Structure 1
Amino acid sequence: MEFTWILVALVFGVGVRLLRFPPLIGFLLAGFALNFLGYQANDTLHALADIGITLMLFTIGLKLNVIDLIKREIWLGAVTNMLVWIAAFIGLASLLGIIGVVYFDGMDVKNAALLAFALSFSSTVCVVKVLEENGEMKTRHGKLAIGVLVMQDVIAVIFLVVATGITPSIWALALVLLYWLKPLIGKLLHLAGHGELLPLTGFFLALGGYELFSLVGIKGDLGALLLGMLLSKHVKAAELSKALLSFKDLFLIGFFISIGFTTLPDMNMLFVSLILALLLPLKFLLFFGLFTRLQLRGRTAYLSGQVLSNYSEFGLIVVALCVNLGLVSTDWLVILALSVCFSFVLTSMVYQHSHQSYNRFKDFIRRFERPERLREDILHQPRNAEMLVVGMGRVGKGAYEALSAVLGDKVWGMDADRERVKKQRKAGCKIMLGDAEDVDLWENIDHSHIKLILLALPSIGDITNINQQLKNVNYQGKLAAIARYEDERRKLLSAGVDNVFNFYTEAGTGFAEESLTLMGHYNP
């Protein structure tokens, strides 16, 4: 990648960060700026973008539970949304054609259906990036959104097979043997240790899955995803995902920049792409309506609908294929590229305020809920709890164990990760499933006897939001939190958190104190 690309991406990334927008918006703008300045995308940029998407799908697979994908709200929600969207778009395209809107006049039903299909997909890259930045990958609405994306990927593979006429090789049947190779791959992960060999092993598995599926005529990205899912239960799956995180983010910058190199549009193309961007609220309403009809809570339907309300990079692949087959004009590839960019920007901007907007309109949103509740959406009470540890990862679990040693059953934990909750319940922990950013949760649990809540969460944005929600429900106890940096610690204290533990600084202090205790020099 040329140094100029890195420089422009950095300038735009920092610029939008100063405006408090996600950096990915800056990377998108950087691509258009470089295109305007006369730079051309080369094979290196496209290779970086492809590696970024492959790593992203592999890490998604590492966090997926296959059982989640067969839930009715996921497969039925994904398929029904796509069908309803296509029907609605055909009707809208016909209406726009009748009133003479450029590019829609003269469009037949077949072309409208193909474009609708391309626009029905939500962006895996955008959704995962937004959820990761907000620490919501394992929340109820986050897992629902990821499940819908995976179902869309399956539909995408079927479409590519049908549209191109290229059927998978007979050797594709041999891919089922990967399941029996699972123990061997697991041993490879153990041998990789915890150093530089671990991310290298991750690259080998992700890219190897891509190449293996491509060799037998199946979309390579699906291979990376499925290989990750195969290893999702491995004890080192979470560690491998974290080891690949920085690499994935770096390579994905190449993807966002590459979109801007598609072409420079004229005013008519810009106008039509803005019309398509204005249809995104319709996409949200379809997701929200379907999810609530499938008995999901209003908050889950609202947040997952918002994060899925964008257009996908896969839409560009669909339209590019249609252009090559002579089914649609080349101009539509440019129009969809712009629409994808606009949708990324809108999703990133709107989702930043999604929790606040839900809190503001929650009474209205709840009117659309069904009276029946899915079993996993029923909230449980932390009985007899005086202390509640929110976030039962390594730090939270350590705090829980230390407090439990003193207070016993008066200490409870809470986590949004269902699998983590199940595992820790089996280990004997008093733990409840719950998303601490869910205002419905705090309004429906009895917190009058809870004297202290510890927020062991990585995002200060989440902590600040939870702090405000606890104030809104008149929580009378104390609140403690962790922070990674001193500036984050000061922000949380100024926001009203009673005590903030600087994870990096004070962990060393605690280590030193325990070491001195061994020598008899310290008596806490």
Structure 2
Amino acid sequence: MPEAIWISFAFGLGLLVKTVGLPPLVGYLAAGFALSGISAATDITIEATDVLQHIAHLGVLLLLFTVGLKLKLRSLVSREVIGGSLLHFAITCAVFTPGLYLLMELEWQTAFLLAIALSFSSTVLAAKVLETKRELRAFHGRVAIGILIVQDLIALVVMSLAAGQSPSQWALIVFGLPLLRPLLYKLLDASGHDELLVLLGLLLALVVGGLGFEAVGLSSELGALVFGAMLANHPRSQELARSLWSVKEIFLVGFFLQIGIGGLPAGDALIFAVIAALVLPLKGILFFFLLLLFRLRARSGFLSALTLTNYSEFGLIVASVALPEWLIPLAITVSLSFVISAPLNRLSHSLYERVSRPLVRFESDTHHPDEQPISLGDTRVLVMGMGRTGTAAYDWLYESEPHLIGLDSDPTKARTHQKAGRNVVFADAEDNTFWQGLEMPKLEAVILAMSDIEGTLIAARMLRRKGFTGYIVAHTMYEDEARKIRKAGADEAYLTMSETGVALASHIRDTRSPTLGTI
């Protein structure tokens, strides 16, 4: 079974690139091209097998399903998502089509389909990068994912038209799927916390969503995403996402391996890929200015645009249907854009800090949908990160501390807390602009309850740089991260699981059970 050897090789290169600060997926891509090079230089035949292709497809479906679990559909119905995606698609096609027609002497139809393929951004790479940085639910992450979903829908329409096929009449059943939500909720509640939960996720992503949508002439990727989104509002949706994490990661290795093993390019294909890579920054620049047109701040526009600055695997799918002769050049183009985009997104926040001053000048003077507070007023205690830990801390302090406020980088979560009566507002701790304008005249203590270690470190450092001398406390899962948090400026960083044990023991002590004696 050669796939096992290939995946082991991919693990080695993934581990190697991780040690230099790059995402492991860059190593997986490199492993695929290395295997393709070995095949070309020796008598050993290495090509993508049916097993590898199946593994890759399952990985994409599971990734999109978990993306759906973290997606609030109402976040798609916004001007920046609908307008940004459609305008970018139209402008890209309008510019690339005549350019390809004139420079490469292609037929108009071929040039137009190539322009369409190059207009899409990678859902897989963007979701993977945002998930790794835990920014899927941040404002800029939600905008990027929303635009990608609209692009994927456009790609599905293009593939249907190019193939001369239409969804079957049974596809109308899809509009009745919301009626299944109560049943899905009951299944999720009844699945417990162990293997049945994982199997339920696989059933919905691969069978009901994947095969079900294919059976009615729709995309299996769209089906996985839709069924994930149907469960996004369930309280256990994130538990389901975590339970599928390891399975999804293993299968995704196959996806990136498959791209590289597809073959080394000929000279013309390589030239095409290099030229496409050179114009890749124009794609990001167009996204940036379009998002600013819809009144986003420069930071959100920059981070969303950088996430979308790549070419899409959906372009390969479109090519396989309409332009099979262009499949290898487009595969190299997509792969090269991954190699460029992945490390840039890893450094996205530090890159923005370097270029923020000139970019801020392009912001609109009107209200931004990602506006953040500029003053904490008479707040004395601040809770940053309103997940389960932050919410528990907020509720415990609420009775004794009236001057309390919570911040969270997920605007939907902030609105949910507001409806529950909590004083919670949207703010992103990793946003340098937020810290520059923030005033906190009466602040005495800060609880850092964010799940992202990078955001926790930035918040601790920025609080101290702002001159805050009060108490800062944080939590984390690992001792090495706790040391980093203290070094960044926190007075204390507690280990989550250790503190859970202490809390459980304190309940026993407080009950003073006579059968236990004095503890």
TM-score interval w.r.t. the shorter chain?
over 0.9
Structure 1 Cα separation of the partners of residues 171 and 279 of structure 2: 39
Paired letter, 2:14: G
Q: Hey, what does 2:356 align to over in structure 1?
A: 362
Q: For 1:470-509, what aligned pairs fall within 5 Å after superposition?
A: 470-509=463-502
Query: What TM-score, normalized to structure 1?
Result: 0.92
- Root-mean-square deviation (CA, aligned residues, Å) is 2.2
Q: Which residues of structure 2 form unaligned runs of 5+?
A: 40-45
Q: For 1:248-259, what aligned pairs fall within 5 Å after superposition?
A: 248-259=248-259
**Deviation of the 1:308 alpha carbon:** 0.6
1:323-352 deviation per Cα after TM superposition (whole angstroms, max 9, x unaligned): 34xxxxx3x322221221221122221122
Higher mean alpha-carbon deviation, 456-465 vs 166-175, is at 456-465
Decide whether aligned partners of structure 1 residues 201 and 114 sit closer, same or farther in structure 2, where only a CA change above 3 A counts.
Answer: same
Q: Hey, what does 1:453 align to over in structure 2?
A: 446
Structure 1 Cα separation of the partners of residues 332 and 465 of structure 2: 41
Contact persistence 2:383–2:390 (CA under 8 A)? yes
**Deviation of the 1:58 alpha carbon:** 1.6
Q: Hey, what does 2:437 align to over in structure 1?
A: 444
Contact persistence 2:81–2:143 (CA under 8 A)? yes
Contact persistence 1:448–1:475 (CA under 8 A)? no
| Residues 1:40 and 2:47 aligned together | yes
Q: Hey, what does 2:234 align to over in structure 1?
A: 234
Q: For 1:211-222, what aligned pairs fall within 5 Å after superposition?
A: 211-222=211-222
Of 337, 345, 355, the match for 1:343: 337
1:71-95 deviation per Cα after TM superposition (whole angstroms, max 9, x unaligned): 1111111010011112222354356
Contact persistence 1:382–1:432 (CA under 8 A)? no
Structure 1 Cα separation of the partners of residues 152 and 7 of structure 2: 31
Structure 1 Cα separation of the partners of residues 332 and 249 of structure 2: 22
Paired letter, 1:238: Q
Q: For 1:86-485, what aligned pairs fall within 5 Å after superposition?
A: 86-93=93-100, 97=103, 104=104, 106-207=105-206, 208-324=208-324, 330=325, 332-375=326-369, 377=371, 379=373, 381-406=375-400, 408-485=401-478
Q: Hey, what does 2:42 align to over in structure 1?
A: none
Contact persistence 1:415–1:421 (CA under 8 A)? yes
Higher mean alpha-carbon deviation, 336-345 vs 139-148, is at 336-345
Structure 1 segments (4+ residues) deviating >4 Å: 520-524
Q: Hey, what does 1:54 align to over in structure 2?
A: 61
Contact persistence 2:307–2:345 (CA under 8 A)? yes
Paired letter, 1:222: L
Structure 1 Cα separation of the partners of residues 90 and 65 of structure 2: 28
Q: Which residues of structure 1 form unaligned runs of 5+?
A: 98-103, 325-329
3-state SS in 2 of match to 1:482: strand
Contact persistence 1:134–1:462 (CA under 8 A)? no
1:205-254 deviation per Cα after TM superposition (whole angstroms, max 9, x unaligned): 11211111111111121112122222222232222222222222221111
3-state SS in 1 of match to 2:460: helix
Q: Hey, what does 1:82 align to over in structure 2?
A: 89
Paired letter, 1:28: L
Give the share of equivalent positions with the same residue, in percent.
38
